Amino acid sequence: MSAQEDSISYRIIADLLEARTGQQIDRGRRWRIPTTLATVFRKRGISNVDQLVCLLASPGEERLADEVVEALLNNETYFFRDRAMFDQLDDHVLPTLREKRAMRKRLNIWCAGCSTGQEPLSLAMLFRSQKALWDGWTIDIVATDISSKAIATARRGIYSQFEVQRGLSVTQMLTHFEETPEGWKVDPALRAMIRYRERNLLEMMDPDQRFDLVLCRNVLLYFDRPTRSRAFDIIHKTMADDGWLMLGAGETASSLTSRLAHVPNTIGLHQPVGLMPAKRQAI
């Protein structure tokens, strides 16, 4: 590692991102900062991180910090990412919830860190593919992300050719999207199943909210351990006692919180601790 990545300017940028979002850029990855910020540099006519830090300190540049944070966030996502995990929802989680919520006929779902919307839309497609099973139900999907750009894209619901085919079968693409001059536009009825909100997941949601299912996938990866613990506690508070949390394929809450336990034999599924062992749905 060169001394440059260890310099005060690189640290200031990394600290800015962490303070705003919880996301860390450890020293081994700091060399990427200038490449990631290339567009910001070009727009401002600057060429290095030191100049950026000077600009950030100048009066009238309050918006610049927002731009830098936006650019540093990794928004990588695609439809039905890790399909096996959606199969788990289909095979185990949704049938269980359908039984348990049969009286209320309502499901509250939260996608935390939804990026440009591919994840909540995948969920919406899943429900739509089982339309008969959910007849008369209210499926409320709240999808949040800290990136205002990502949320704006998600709200718009128009995807490039590259994005639309990433993860979808040709049938799903033709069924749920319409080709328009601006790109592939998602079926408005599908889009209407989702409420998008710009929000930092480290800030508490509505305290009365009780989600039956929370997806928080590939978001907490770059939080340090204390911040991840905090995130799990916040998520736990928003969950129904018998609700489910689905993390990313390689992620776990074990050893970071005592409130959530990994459901044996599943990829990334967690439930609140305190459920009677017999009641917890081992798969």
Partner 1 sequence: MKTCLIVDDSRVIRKVSRHMVEAIGLAVEEAANGQEALDACAQAMPDVILLDWNMPVMSGIEFITRLRASPGGEAPKVVFCTTENDAAHIREAVQAGANEYVMKPFDHETLQIKLQLVGVA
Ligand X SMILES: C[S@@+](CC[C@H](N)C(=O)[O-])C[C@H]1O[C@@H](n2cnc3c(N)ncnc32)[C@H](O)[C@@H]1O
- Chain residues that interact with ligand X, rule: CB under 6 A: 21-23, 73-77, 81, 113-115, 119, 145-147, 150, 200-202, 217-219, 248
Alpha-carbon span 92 to 229, nearest angstrom? 27
179 binds, among ligand X, partner 1, none (CB under 5 to 8 A by kind): partner 1
CB 276 → ligand X: shortest distance, Å? 31
283 CB-near residues (< 8 Å, 6+ apart): 88, 91, 92, 263, 264, 265, 266, 269
Nearer to ligand X, 202 or 275 (CB): 202
Contact 256, 229 (CB under 8 A): yes
Nearer to partner 1, 82 or 251 (CB): 82
238 binds, among ligand X, partner 1, none (CB under 5 to 8 A by kind): none
75 CB-near residues (< 8 Å, 6+ apart): 115, 116, 147, 149, 150
Q: Does residue 131 belong to the site contacting partner 1 (CB under 8 A)?
A: no
Which residue among 10, 78, 86, 196 contacts partner 1 (CB under 8 A)? 78
Residue 99 token pair: 């039984």
96 binds, among partner 1, ligand X, none (CB under 5 to 8 A by kind): none
Alpha-carbon span 200 to 267, nearest angstrom? 25
Residues of 168-177 as b/e, b for ≥16 C-beta within 10 angstroms?
Answer: beeebbeebb
5 binds, among ligand X, partner 1, none (CB under 5 to 8 A by kind): none
Which residue among 128, 149, 166, 259 contacts partner 1 (CB under 8 A)? 166
Which residue among 47, 74, 148, 169 contacts partner 1 (CB under 8 A)? 169
Q: Does residue 167 belong to the site contacting partner 1 (CB under 8 A)?
A: yes
97 binds, among partner 1, ligand X, none (CB under 5 to 8 A by kind): none
Nearer to partner 1, 116 or 227 (CB): 116
Alpha-carbon span 245 to 216, nearest angstrom? 7
Residue 147 token pair: 């990136």
Footprint of partner 1 on 80-119 (CB under 8 A) = 80, 83
CB 18 → ligand X: shortest distance, Å? 10
Nearer to ligand X, 24 or 281 (CB): 24
Residue 228 token pair: 């991840």
CB 120 → partner 1: shortest distance, Å? 19
Nearer to partner 1, 6 or 179 (CB): 179
Residue 222 token pair: 């770059």
Helices (H) and strands (E) counted in the chain, each on its own, are 13, 10
E runs forming strands in the chain: 106-112, 138-145, 158-159, 177-180, 183-186, 194-198, 211-216, 239-247, 260-262, 269-272
In three-state secondary structure terms, 5 is: helix
Q: Does residue 161 belong to the site contacting partner 1 (CB under 8 A)?
A: yes
CB 103 → ligand X: shortest distance, Å? 31
Query: Which stretches of the chain bind partner 1, using CB under 8 A?
Result: 78, 80, 83, 161-162, 165-167, 169-171, 173-174, 178-179
